[in-house]
Amino acid sequence: MHTKGSARSKQKSQTILASTLYLVPTPIGNLSDITFRAVEVLKGVDLIACEDTRTTGRLCDQFDIDTPRTSFHAHNEHRKTAALIEKIKAGSSIALVSDAGSPGISDPGYLIVREAVAAGIDVVPLPGPSALIPAITASGLPTDRFVFEGFLPQKKGRIKRLTALQEEERTTILYEAPHRIVKLLKQIDEVLGSDRYVVVARELTKRYEEFSRGKVSHVLEQFAGRDRVRGELVVMIAGAEYVESIQP
87 or 135: whose CB is closer to ligand SAM?
135
Q: Which stretch binds ligand SAM (CB under 6 A): 85-93, 170-178, 182-190, 217-225?
A: 170-178
Q: What is the CA radius of gyration of the chain?
A: 21
Size of the site for ligand SAM (CB under 6 A): 23
Does residue 130 interact with ligand SAM by CB under 6 A?
A: yes
Does residue 185 interact with ligand SAM by CB under 6 A?
A: no
Nearest Cα residue to 94 out of 78, 113, 119, 118: 113
Q: How far is the CB of 99 from ligand SAM (least distance, A)?
A: 7
State the Cα torsion 39-40-45-47 to the nearest 10°: 10
How far apart CA 131 and CA 179 sit, in angstroms, is 18
13 or 62: whose CB is closer to ligand SAM?
62
CB under 8 Å, gap of 24 or more: what pairs does 34-38 form?
34/59, 34/63, 34/128, 34/129, 35/126, 35/127, 35/128, 36/11, 37/126, 38/126, 38/128
150 or 193: whose CB is closer to ligand SAM?
150
Does residue 102 interact with ligand SAM by CB under 6 A?
A: yes
201 or 236: whose CB is closer to ligand SAM?
201
Q: What does the DSSP 8-state code read for residue 228?
A: -
Amino acid, single-letter form, for residue 91: G
Q: Is 226 helix (H, G, I), strand (E, B) or coil?
A: coil
Q: Which stretch binds ligand SAM (CB under 6 A): 110-118, 158-166, 187-195, 232-240?
A: 232-240
Q: Which stretch binds ligand SAM (CB under 6 A): 116-124, 140-148, 155-163, 198-206?
A: 198-206
Q: Which residues bind ligand SAM (CB under 6 A)?
A: 28-29, 98, 100-102, 105-107, 130-132, 175-177, 201, 203-206, 232-234
